[in-house]
């Protein structure tokens, strides 16, 4: 974006733009002041808890993730894909944008453009091992739609361009770029309302703890967590005892029955070799060359017929209702600081 633009819409966005990721320290500091699209997405997916995110914002925890070969590849490919999207009129963006309604609602779009009707459209660039078409379970699992909805909300956008470049892994572990898929994601105000509620809940808790109050402790939940940890410890101890006793019983090699326990010992059998008859396909092909050739021609014909049919069938499509597999609620329990010496 440029401050010199005569468009009132872009001028408004320019006035709400903050630090660029080129000034990473300032960019990170600005993101810590509010809640970003990535963070809202993770809260929505429940891949992070409100408390964990509060702890990160307040410096109680440190995010130790510094990237991997997948994120490195994505970072390297992003400007290349952005150059392709520039052909559609998207201008690459690297700054934090603040929402007009609340400056703590933050988003960092990968690209921005205006439609002919002066409507804001945003771009999101991803690399993945496969395409992520709208409505697919794979896209739902990633949470990218929620992320893009938040960006649209913050910027006042009406739709988003999701660019997914396939990442092809080579035998040596390196990557090569694959097909670039481009999809439109329309604004969903119902989902946005849900995301705003999640963001507001987080910001309220962040403010409460920043003002000096610690997290609210539910005593019943704490009791269940302690019992769970005790159960894990007993389970671990019991497993070790069980495995040690079983090895001792096998080593003793005794069957007996007492008032307390009955033991039945079955000796093991050593591994051995045996002869088995199987069909020798190579010998059969050598003995019946005519029939073998006919079979191979038939297989090739079937492959061609299937390909021809697939080409014909691809012209006939219908819409069906697909369902994604749900995930059960989950919880992670670890020992608190008060239990460690």
Ordered DSSP codes for 147-188: HHHHHHHHHTEEEEEEEEEEEEEPTTS-EEEEEEEEEEEE--
Q: Over range 41-51, report the average pLDDT.
A: 95
pLDDT over 80 at 226, yes or no: no
Q: Say how far apart CA 180 and CA 166 lie, in whole Å.
A: 6
| Residue 261, H or E segment | none
pLDDT over 80 at 20, yes or no: yes
Instruction: Look up the pTM and report it.
Output: 0.63
Rounded to 5°, the CA angle 230-218-52 comes to 85
Strand-strand pairing, 17-20 and 256-257: unpaired
The full set of domains in the chain, from first to last, is: 8-210 (3.90.320.10)
What average pLDDT does the structure give for the chain?
Answer: 89
pLDDT over 90 at 37, yes or no: yes
pLDDT over 50 at 152, yes or no: yes
Q: Say how far apart CA 51 and CA 184 lie, in whole Å.
A: 34
């Amino acid at each position: 974006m440029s401050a010199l633009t005569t468009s009132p819409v872009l001028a408004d966005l320019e006035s709400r733009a903050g630090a660029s990721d080129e000034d990473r320290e300032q960019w990170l500091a600005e993101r810590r002041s509010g809640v970003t699209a990535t963070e809202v997405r993770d809260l929505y997916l429940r891949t992070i808890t409100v408390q964990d995110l509060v702890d990160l914002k307040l410096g109680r925890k440190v995010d130790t993730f510094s990237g991997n070969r997948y994120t490195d590849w994505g970072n390297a490919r992003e400007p290349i894909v952005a150059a392709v999207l520039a052909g559609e009129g998207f201008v690459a963006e690297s700054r934090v944008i603040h929402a007009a309604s609340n400056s703590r609602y933050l988003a960092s779009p990968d690209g921005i453009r205006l439609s002919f009707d002066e409507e804001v459209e945003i771009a999101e660039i991803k690399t993945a091992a496969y395409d992520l078409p709208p409505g697919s379970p794979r896209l739902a699992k990633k949470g990218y739609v929620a992320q893009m909805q938040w960006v649209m909300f913050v910027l006042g956008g009406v739709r988003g361009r999701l660019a997914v470049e396939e990442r092809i892994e080579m035998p040596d572990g390196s990557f090569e770029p694959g097909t670039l898929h481009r999809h439109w994601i329309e604004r969903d105000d119902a989902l946005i309302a849900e995301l705003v509620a999640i963001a507001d809940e987080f910001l309220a808790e962040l403010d409460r703890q920043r003002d000096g109050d610690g997290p609210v402790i539910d005593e019943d939940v704490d009791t269940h967590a302690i019992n769970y940890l005790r159960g894990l410890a007993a389970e671990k101890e019991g497993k070790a005892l069980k495995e040690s006793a079983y090895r001792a019983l096998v080593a003793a090699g005794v069957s007996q029955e007492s008032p307390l326990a009955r033991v039945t010992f079955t000796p093991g059998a050593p591994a051995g070799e045996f002869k088995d008859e199987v069909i020798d396909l190579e010998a059969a092909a050598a003995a019946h060359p005519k029939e073998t050739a006919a079979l191979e021609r038939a297989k090739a014909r079937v492959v061609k017929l299937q390909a021809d049919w697939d080409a014909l069938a691809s012209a006939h499509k219908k819409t069906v209702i697909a369902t994604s597999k749900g995930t059960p609620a989950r919880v992670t329990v670890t020992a608190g600081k008060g239990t460690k010496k």
